[in-house]
């Protein structure tokens, strides 16, 4: 039986991309698996952004992500929901991996290469070793199913590579090779600017906010400047691509028809998308707001999650230390 693991960085409130791409599909998988899945809030990864992120927001975002998982119905009795920094064992494993992975290869990671191009002077060592910590997140629990967005594929590749190198050196199959789990339609969700929705681009749709702000976000989705009367292209349009993921198929077909016929403005399409989002996530939004008001409950859930994760991590680490002949 395989184990599933995924993490969301606490750099912001979970947005629609996180929800459709990671939270919903992951919960579906956890319900199918017999054994516990690992879901964690990657606050150590978030810390890499300390230059642009207010430190006090990381903890707050941790609560937001925890509440989001719970609002979507994650069963925390069966599964393990925890804060990355609560299981410090992962940083020890990351160190071992540092010693096994060639520096030169790490310089090829997109996360580093892209930043290096834009602002070389601002890069910290944490950003450089980001994929190593991610490999430790996964391999510490020998997870094999990793639901992630498309931008994380290379990190999973690096993780497999590290596992292979380690296994070879040790001479046994200490680490299993993980695979990314992605669904074609949700591996990259369109943001309000037409590019992939991401926290760093600030182009997200956040459902865990007031109706008013949610509406404002949707109203600011970029479109071309075709008038109300003109025929529109439903195949290359941000509103449509989001609507398809939220609305039932008959309403999607209906909107497609209206696009092709004309006499249907983007404003109306945006309103329809807004209504659909409000309807679809009615229960989850309500639950989210009640969880977020109950920090002591969230603390308790995270505490119990950390305890379970730490227990497993400790045993694994002990075995890894022995395999490395450190003890
Ligand atoms: N890097 C991931 C992201 O930004 C978050 C993450 C950290 C993660 N560690 C992980 C995802 C381990 C899956 C598995 O989306």
Instruction: Assess contact for 150 and 187: CB atoms under 8 A.
Output: yes
What structural domains does the chain harbor? 5-189+295-323 (3.40.50.620), 211-280 (1.10.240.10)
Q: Is the CB of 22 under 6 A from ligand 1?
A: no
Assign 264 to helix, strand or coil: coil
Per-residue pLDDT of the chain (327 residues; tens, 9 = 90+): 999 999 999 999 999 999 999 999 999 999 999 999 999 999 999 999 998 889 999 999 999 999 999 999 999 999 999 999 999 999 999 999 999 999 999 999 998 988 888 888 888 999 999 999 999 999 999 999 999 988 899 999 999 999 999 999 999 999 999 999 998 887 779 999 999 998 878 899 999 999 999 999 999 999 999 999 999 999 999 999 999 999 999 999 999 999 999 999 999 999 999 999 999 999 999 999 999 999 999 999 999 999 999 999 999 999 999 999 999
Distance (angstroms) between ligand 1 centre and the Cα of 227 equals: 41
Distance (angstroms) between ligand 1 centre and the Cα of 41 equals: 9
DSSP one-letter code for 20:
I
Q: Is the CB of 9 under 6 A from ligand 1?
A: yes
Q: What is the CA radius of gyration of the chain?
A: 21
Assign 22 to helix, strand or coil: helix
Test site for ligand 1: of 3, 4, 6, 48, most ligand atoms within 8 A of the Cβ: 6
- Complete edge-to-edge strand list for the sheet that includes strand 80-83: 5-9, 38-42, 80-83
| Residue bearing the CA closest to ligand 1, atom 9 | 134
pTM tops 0.85 = yes
Cite the DSSP H helix spans in 16-124. Answer: 16-18, 24-32, 43-46, 55-71, 89-98, 103-106, 110-119
- How many Å apart are CA 223 and CA 241, to the nearest integer? 12
Question: Which residues face 8 on adjacent strands?
Answer: 41
- How many Å apart are CA 199 and CA 16, to the nearest integer? 11
| Residue with the two structure tokens 């391999």 | 139
Q: How far is CA 18 from the centre of its chain?
A: 5
Q: Is the CB of 23 under 6 A from ligand 1?
A: no
């Amino acid at each position: 039986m395989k184990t599933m693991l995924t993490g969301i960085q606490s750099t912001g409130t979970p947005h629609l991309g996180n929800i459709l791409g990671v939270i919903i599909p992951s919960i579906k998988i956890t319900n199918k698996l017999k054994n516990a899945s690992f879901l964690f809030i990657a606050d150590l990864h978030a810390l890499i952004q300390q230059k642009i992120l207010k430190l006090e927001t990381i903890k707050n975002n941790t609560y937001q992500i925890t509440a989001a998982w719970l609002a979507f119905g994650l069963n925390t009795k069966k599964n393990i929901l925890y804060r990355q920094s609560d299981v410090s064992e992962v940083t020890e494993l990351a160190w071992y991996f540092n010693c096994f992975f060639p520096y030169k290869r790490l310089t090829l990671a997109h996360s580093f290469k892209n930043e290096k191009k834009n602002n070389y002077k601002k890069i910290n060592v944490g950003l450089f070793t980001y994929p190593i910590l991610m490999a430790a997140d996964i391999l510490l629990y020998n997870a094999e199913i990793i639901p992630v967005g498309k931008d994380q594929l290379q990190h999973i590749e690096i993780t497999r590579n590290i596992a292979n190198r380690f296994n070879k050196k040790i001479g046994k199959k200490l680490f299993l090779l993980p695979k990314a789990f992605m669904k074609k339609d949700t591996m990259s969700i369109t943001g309000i600017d037409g590019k992939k929705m991401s926290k760093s681009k600030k182009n997200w749709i956040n459902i865990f906010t007031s109706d008013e702000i949610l509406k404002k976000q949707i109203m600011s989705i970029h479109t071309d400047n075709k008038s109300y009367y003109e025929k529109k292209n439903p195949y290359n349009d941000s509103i449509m691509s989001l609507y398809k993921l939220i609305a039932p198929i008959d309403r999607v077909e209906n909107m497609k028809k209206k696009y092709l016929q004309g006499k249907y403005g983007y404003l109306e399409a945006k309103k329809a998308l807004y209504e659909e989002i409000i309807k679809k996530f009615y229960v989850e939004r309500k639950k989210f707001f009640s969880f977020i008001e109950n920090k002591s409950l969230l603390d308790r859930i995270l505490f119990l999650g950390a305890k379970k994760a730490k227990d497993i991590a400790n045993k694994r680490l002990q075995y890894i230390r022995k395999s490395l002949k450190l003890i």
